Structure 1
């Protein structure tokens, strides 16, 4: 109370901008400094329609409820921000009409998490129509089917869209389309840096970049955060820094707090200021010293595991390459699994980690210090390249960025691309949290399967409503970045997309004339529906007549190579949505079985680690126990009791496998490959994964084995195998492409007793043919 009173006494007025991006805790802090009941102290500015940071806990309900509280206290309703000084009258009329429709309530009335429609009044008149731009809004409706009636792949549609955007912007530049310059107070010819292309998600940007390069459209991709500033990369850089300089307590604290070790703030504080006898230290203790003689904490096991891992890594410095050091750290901490679980279906964090390991491998000759210097140089260069956009606008490059990155910016010409993109819907998360409904979780039933209780189902529905409401606001932010011309493009075959909502609001059919000018309620729209095989626009030639006469043909060796669109690569586990179980198998105990202190998923991980090297199964008992103890430590089991329990529980599982006919057959195999990585081309892009075991038996037949370390009841094994059939079909197809024959494909259940399920070759081939990943 004294501190609050002291701070309040020094602050007489508080002004908050962008108040729509405030969360509940921030509002509590704000109200502690200047409560609405204290007249004249608080002034907040914001627009509920531009609240788009729910993933950062910003709640539009906070903005709406605060407005209601202020009205109750003062008797005055919040003043709307009703004037637009950016967008001209013609374009604003179109946007007002569009979002008056889109921002209608999802239910019977507007909820606190929804923004209400509020038309804007233009402060700039519409310019006269231009010869090449007859309307302030242009819609490109890409066809969903080709000339033969077959569905056009999403990737192909995006390539067509990118080509249209490039040719349209080149045409605007060549025709000197006039745009309003605020600084000059007059119209001037369009420059490339007057345009921005916005994306809901940037995962498909490489497709567009390739087409822009081919069309010679100058562009600059603006990322909100560089690769080396990604949290997962910062974790690994901090780890290497701490290994190089053990006395660097800031880096070491970052590592301990990161998902590598997941120590809490309280544990870090106690390590810093508490002695082993729990007495307070007179001076701060270095973290390396504290790990060797830690004080009592609530995370004693995690602290001990961190100490074991770091001591081992420090001992490896100078003896192994940097990439081996990183590989050991990642394996011992389970960091890749943590990133995979954080990623959901995107795979971005996991791919970033693997890319960093590959970069380290490419620099295998560098010392740890040299590698850190090399990374620092790359990071600095990345930052300078990002700043070049602001420092040198005369470069004249079209800016590519996400809608979130464009928040607060404005451009004379804005293109919102890929409007036909479906909103990503992830699988059920174990935990749901939001101030509106609190903390909810899935529960296991008697068979160990995850189930959704009624409270979770309600929270999941409400979460979906909030996401749908924010999706509308995100589209509003994207469209209102434009001052003179708005280009909207996408494939019109998908429902529940921004494009589908736009067509419904403006009452435009997806099919119709190749090009038409539509008169609406006080505004005009230009609609373009290109034929699948026809060129969208004739790109103006930039070759002078004299040059064209001198060069009549191109020598064969000077012919440019065709531009190949980058194929998207993603984990095979995305097919079935079971990436979490694939990375961390969960073992469900038998009824009446004593559950030990070692987590079931650790037992499963130990078993799968052992099976990665087939020869390990043939080890004598003492060597096998030693190997299991080593793997147990890598899984974080540092106590002798935990290690012994894990070994005792895995040993009989290994024995059952050794006694099987499969073991005898594999032992006599002509060729055998464990954890064999592969890449497989699919209709969507490149699938990548690994085969648990591929071997050629004594008769020359090839066999593909997948391990199943989950506990599956005998009655459920067939249905479980069917659930993994698509995954196994992809593995079998990859083997077929390499070998020329379909391998016999098996799923081996390890718990509660060993058994083998054989897949039918025809069923696998049918599953492969029916894959549709979009």
Structure 2
């Protein structure tokens, strides 16, 4: 609370103390969370270790391999089998690898075994990639692998050709991209770039090949006002709505290049459907929706609900709900039908008959017995054909009562 308080201009020393307090609070929170979560960290590490062990045992029992196994075993096989390695190196003339910025270290080892220095001479390695497009770190890709390979080639082990011509974007867009990159993609002053950093230079600039189009490619709506984040967001939303109105009405003088009937391009006034607002996250949409409605601008929300409504996040939430309360039958149903378990509707029906809220306490044998319990469904009977109505019959006359018979001995 002290760090969020407001100060006047004369409070110089106090301002420095406030900034130090804010920095300390920011550093304290993750450190405290790390200490408090230590038991959970240990439990999670043990759970992952046990899952990896069981997964490896299941693969071995099924004589199966996954994608990582294929990479590791292929690399190890070529390393130890000189005859096979020589046969493959002699058979291939060139090894072309696209999207090299997404290569992981094991794949790089495999390429080195096939195309690196050795006897016999291996194929020519052609690595195609762009360091700026490395986005698969979460699945093991390491952009440093490509950066180190480029340095080797530039040092004399090969050649580096920069494909700078761009056939997709208008010149104004590329001018903007180049100017942003030359400022943003730089290491700290006085320090060489790390293997996972990019030092954007003149050779990295994209050169347009398309004809000149509308300019400018970018506008900045500057808000010089202060205030809280909510206040700034309201002003930003109003400014965006006003700018969209000016673009669509033609007051802004912005034209859209559209394909003409003759196959070329011609300018036209923008329509609402030509405008899109991109958000970093979808948790603060309300001010922008209010501003669009107030300005009479029709809109459609492409993906509502925000991060926590995404299917994969909701599936993880159901998993956590089932762990927190193993008797939560709804959480179990959602979890079992999610891609994490992907059970069929028939299996889910059988489990529901056993009791989804009991699954956490059932032993494997008891669950199997419950699922295998024979049921006695009744055979469906064939429907009978409707009969035609019969004509009414005349009533019969009553018969006289018969005399009782004597009992027999």
TM-score by length of 1: 0.27
More strand by share: 1
* TM-score, scaled to structure 2: 0.47
Whose RCO is larger (CA < 8 A, sep 6+)?
1
Whose radius of gyration is greater, 1 or 2? 2
